[in-house]
Chains A and B, each alone.
Chain A
Amino acid sequence: MIDTIQALPTVPGLMMALLLTTATVCGLLGLTVVVTRVVRTVARAREQKRRNRVRPLLLDIFDGKTNFVLPRAESRALIRLAAESATQVRGEDRDALTNWLTVQQFHRECLKRMKSPFALTRARALESFAPIAALAPGAIERMLSDRDARVRSLAAQVAGRSGMKSLVPALLLHAEGPRSIPARIVSMAVLRAAPSTITDFGDTPADANVRVRAMALDLAGQLNLVDARRAIEAGLDSPSETVRLASIRSIQRLGSPLSLPALKQMATYSAYEHSHAEVAIYELQGG
């Protein structure tokens, strides 16, 4: 039997090598867990102390007293704190913070990081840039065509949150194409930007692309833009059913009886569309 076993292939010292390898890898993993915990705890405590020291200076920034000099580490902590706070305050306080951040060249740093080859870095820079996005709408518009889908979506959210009405046409146009943004995110961003007139939509209510046009008309209705009535009525003559249905929905939302003649004259090509038009006519007639 011993002969048989010895005839089978074995590697000398294998048992000890495997045991040592397992023990070493497991030991290293366990040690890394503990070291990670300790290092993080210490680093967080330090950062917290720094933040506590510089936090009162935020009030000075609100009051326009910015002639303080800080060590480099504390200065960085204050910039981070100010950038975070800028998204949480409104009005003059926000203006004061964004002005101070601009003086500190924070926007330059963000814009530089927004050109990083790494999507994560670009996304984080984009979020940091959000409070001062109005300074460079062009940069946000460029990010709407980013090569990473999640960065594009984030750029749309930043555009909406910053209320940049000038970006509404760009947002709508990015609902289609090879580097598109999900339609719902585009719609949410446009609603958040809250354009107050159809002129903020640019040429999109008459765009050649069916989905872009339908979305623009739909959103104009959702935002209750009274001056969009003619553009919406023009959509009733579109060869696309998607656009015609969007126009009917928007006319219903606007609720203007002035749209009745256009609705009655429109040609419907399916029972589904016809029933929608009939309901809209009924509602506009005060039904």
Chain B
Amino acid sequence: MASRVVITGLGVVSPIGIGVSEFWKSALTGRSGITAIPSLGWFPMSGYRSQVAGQVHNFAPEQYLSAMQANRVDRYAQFSLVAAKEALTDANLSMAKEAPHRVGVIVGAGMGGMVMGEREITQLFETQRPHRVHPNFIPTITLNSASGIVAMAHGAKGPNLTISTACSSSAHALGQALHCIRTGQADVVIAVGADASITPLVFAGFCSLRALSSEFNNAPEQASRPFDRRRDGFVMGEGAAALIVESWAHAKKRKARVYAELAGYAATSEAYHMVIPQEDGQEICTTMKIGLKSAGIGPDQVDYINAHATSTTIGDAVETKAIRLLFKNRADKIAVNATKSLVGHTLGAAGAIGAVATTLAIHTGQIHPTANYEEPDPDCRLDGIRRAVQERKVRYALLNAFGFGSNNATVVFKKFVA
């Protein structure tokens, strides 16, 4: 029997709130955090097809971080630091009492330090003055800057990894944290997901890919509408979330409060297409099935799915198809929601933010609404999707995350019973 792994701390930086309590309070209202973006800093957005995003407003790094820490890393890593700090505090985990090499950090990030990246590249090409490229450019854009700085902030000397599988990055971070503890490499893993790349170039790239919503520029709060008939693409978001993942034995010893148990994980590749999921839903179905198997349960035991559901036309329909394939006539009995309806698609942070929502659903028995689910699309019809809070005892829950590069992940959560 594999060792049990539990979640004991949570932290969030999101477009609907910095800090778990603000995030969750807002999530339960079902209010969207998507707003208009007339400009990105000084950079005008009028030429962009999509002009809405889920930004983290009023984020003042100095409020949470020392000037030295804040200056050394990009926005996504600042988010990581803030979320990790909150999660550690929430878990009541004092690093002074831990063996440093038994605490790991695994971060999922899709884009990394694009704020500085774009600024420095633009400046170099414009001025052709190579000696004016910032000395901190390389350490900042190196994709493991967040996992590095989080470890440094807390003296966590165990496994330190960064997983970059686009939009599924932090679901894998969580899954790998589970493996890391089950295989005895660590007692505790700070699992983080983070991205902050609502930047002129990245935003333009997603626009060119025709992946973003462009029909709701005048009604931003309606733009992210997973499963709804009028959805027309995802809305870019930014943020971070952190989960303290530890062995049950370790949590018990330090009398930690447990939110939920991490019960299983599946990692697959569709080996199919860079950006399009296999349309019959078979691959996603298989991913969920492997996840259930790794948790040692069957489809009849799942009460809730935190769907990947980005609000793209194909993506939501294929995920629905996969849920029907796997759960058959039980599909309509499962509560399903889309955290992206509230915060947009936070890319590398999406899995971790969804994981916080899933953990809290299990812990509190409340499943947050799916915003803008007004007119069910026949291609995505599932009775368990609601615009209101669903009160429900959840024993097992799934978190889905799918990334560019044909990458899929499912994480299985379980109600914790000692």
Query: Are A and B genuine complex partners?
Result: no
Residues of A whose CB lies within 8 Å of any CB of B are: none
| Chain B residues within 8 Å of A, Cβ to Cβ | none
